[in-house]
Chains A and B, each alone.
Chain A
Amino acid sequence: MWGSNAREAHPIYFHHVLKGLSNGAKMWAVDPRRTSSAKFADAWLGLNVGTDIALANGVAREIIHAGLVNEEFIENATEGYEEFKAHVEPWTLDITSEVTGVPNEAIVDLAHGYATAPTAQILWTLGITEHHTGVDNVLALSNLALLTGHVGRPGSGLVPLRGQNNVQGGGDMGALPNKLPGFQDVDDDNIRARFEKTWKAEFTGEHGLNLTEMFEAMGQDTLRAVWVIGENPADSEADVKHARAMLERLEILVVQDVFMTRTAQMADVVFPAALGWAESDGTATSSERRVQRIRAAVPPPGQAKQEIEIISEMAKRLGSTTWGNPTPQELWDELRTLSPMHGGMSWERLETEGGIQWPCPDEDHPGSLFLHGRLWERPISGRRAPFSCVEHRPPVDELTDEFPIRLTTGRVLDSYNTGVQSGKFDSPIRSGDALEISSEDALTLNVVDGETVRVSSRRGSILMRVKTDAELQVGLAFTTFHFPELVDINQLTSDATDSKSGTGEFKAAAIKIEKIESMANV
Chain B
Amino acid sequence: MSDLKFGTEEPTAEEKTAIDELSSEIGPAEIKLDERFVVGGRTRVKDRRRLLLPALHELQNTAGWISPGGLNYACKVLGIPPAEAYGVATFYHLFSHEPPEVKDLIHVCDDVACRLVGAETLIKDLKDSGHKVKPSPCLGQCERAPSVLIQRTNKKNLTAVAESNNSLTAVNVEQVLTSETVTPQMTLPQKGSENLSLLSRVGVVNPESIEEYVKLNGYDALKKALTIGPDKVIEEVTASKLSGRGGAAFPTGVKWRAVADQVGRPRHLVCNADESEPGTFKDRTIMEGDPFAVIEAMTIAGFSIGAEQGWLYLRGEYPVAAERLENAIREARKNGFLGKNIAGSEFNFDIQLYKGAGAYICGEETALFNSIEGFRGEPRNKPPFPTTHGLFGEPTAINNVETLVNVLSILALGGDKYAMQGTGNSTGTRLFCLSGRVVNPGVYEHPFGVTLREVIEAAGGVTDSKKIKAILLGGAAGSFVTSDHLDLPMTLEDTREAGVSLGSGVVMVFDESDDLPDTVRRIAQFFRDESCGQCVPCRVGTVRQEEVLARFTRNASFDTDEELLEDLSTVMKDASICGLGHTASGAVLSAINLGLLERTL
Contacts and interface: CB of A to CB of B under 8 A. Distances in A.
A and B touching (C-beta < 8 Å)?
A: yes
B42 to A, nearest CB: 5
Interface in B2-24: 3-4
A105 B40 CA distance: 15
A402 to B, nearest CB: 25
Contacts of A473: 35-36
Contacts of A40: 1, 41-42
A139 interface: no
Contacts of A22: 1, 42
A105 B41 CA distance: 17
A469 to B, nearest CB: 14
A42 B37 contact: no
A396 to B, nearest CB: 23
Interface in B25-71: 33-43
Interface in A35-53: 36, 38-47
Contacts of A46: 35-38
A34 B36 CA distance: 9
Nearest to A34: B38
A102 B40 contact: no
A44 B42 contact: no
B36 A42 contact: no
Contact of A44 (B1, B4, B37): B37
A260 B40 CA distance: 46
Interface residues of B, number: 14
A105 B36 contact: no
A44 B35 contact: no
A45 B36 contact: yes
Contacts of B35: 46, 473-474
Nearest to A32: B36
A463 interface: no
Given A18-B1, A21-B1, A36-B3, A42 B34 contact: no
A249 interface: no
Contacts of B36: 45-47, 101-103, 106, 473
A106 B37 contact: yes
Among A18, A43, A101, residue most surrounded by chain B Cβ atoms (within 10 Å): A43
Contacts of A21: 1, 41-42
A27 interface: yes
A40 B79 CA distance: 11
Contacts of A27: 41
Contact of B37 (A36, A39, A103, A474): A103
B33 A42 contact: no
Contact of A43 (B1, B4, B37): B37
A103 B32 CA distance: 12
A39 B2 CA distance: 9
Interface in A208-267: none
B4 A39 contact: yes
A105 B43 contact: no
Contacts of B43: 42
A101 B36 CA distance: 7
B3 A41 contact: no
Nearest to B46: A22
Nearest to A97: B36
B11 to A, nearest CB: 17
Contacts of A34: 38
A26 interface: yes
Given A21-B1, A36-B3, A40-B1, A106 B34 contact: yes
A46 B32 CA distance: 11
B3 A43 contact: no
Contacts of A103: 33-34, 36-37
B545 to A, nearest CB: 39
A43 B39 contact: yes
B37 A45 contact: yes
B34 A43 contact: no
Contacts of B33: 103, 105-106
Among B1, B34, B36, B41, residue most surrounded by chain A Cβ atoms (within 10 Å): B36
A101 B34 CA distance: 10
Nearest to B44: A42
A45 B36 CA distance: 6
Interface string A4-44: 00010000000000100110001100000010101111111
A42 B3 contact: no
A106 B37 CA distance: 6
A21 B43 CA distance: 9
Interface in B297-351: none
A43 B42 contact: no
A42 B4 contact: no
A42 B40 CA distance: 5
A473 B35 CA distance: 8
A281 B279 CA distance: 71
B34 A39 contact: no
Contacts of B34: 103, 105-106
Given A103-B33, A105-B33, A42 B39 contact: yes
A41 B44 CA distance: 11
Contacts of A47: 36
A26 B44 CA distance: 12
A105 B36 CA distance: 11
Interface string B343-383: 00000000000000000000000000000000000000000
Nearest to A23: B42
Contacts of B37: 43-46, 102-103, 105-106
A47 B37 CA distance: 9
Nearest to A48: B36
Interface in A72-130: 101-103, 105-106
Nearest to B37: A106
Contacts of A36: 3
Nearest to B4: A39
Contacts of B38: 34, 38, 43-44, 46
Nearest to B36: A46
Nearest to A103: B34
A474 B35 CA distance: 9
Nearest to A43: B39
Nearest to A25: B42
A42 B47 CA distance: 13
B40 A41 contact: yes
A111 B41 CA distance: 18
Contacts of B3: 7, 36, 39
A29 to B, nearest CB: 9
Contacts of A38: 38
B436 to A, nearest CB: 51
B41 A41 contact: yes
Nearest to A106: B37
Interface string B169-196: 0000000000000000000000000000
B125 to A, nearest CB: 51
A34 B4 CA distance: 13
A102 B36 CA distance: 6
Contacts of B41: 21, 26-27, 40-43
Interface in B54-98: none
A38 B36 CA distance: 12
B37 to A, nearest CB: 4
Contacts of B1: 18, 21-22, 40
A445 to B, nearest CB: 19
A488 B365 CA distance: 61
Nearest to A42: B41
Contacts of B42: 21-22, 40, 42
Nearest to B30: A39
Contacts of A26: 41
13 contacts: A22-B1, A22-B42, A39-B4, A39-B40, A40-B1, A40-B41, A41-B40, A41-B41, A43-B40, A44-B40, A46-B35, A46-B37, A103-B33
Given A38-B38, A42-B43, A44-B39, 5 more contacts: A40-B41, A43-B41, A101-B36, A103-B36, A106-B36
Interface of A: 7, 18, 21-22, 26-27, 34, 36, 38-47, 101-103, 105-106, 473-474
Give me the 7 closest cross-chain CB pairs, A-B, nearest first.
A42-B41, A46-B36, A106-B37, A103-B34, A44-B38, A43-B39, A102-B36
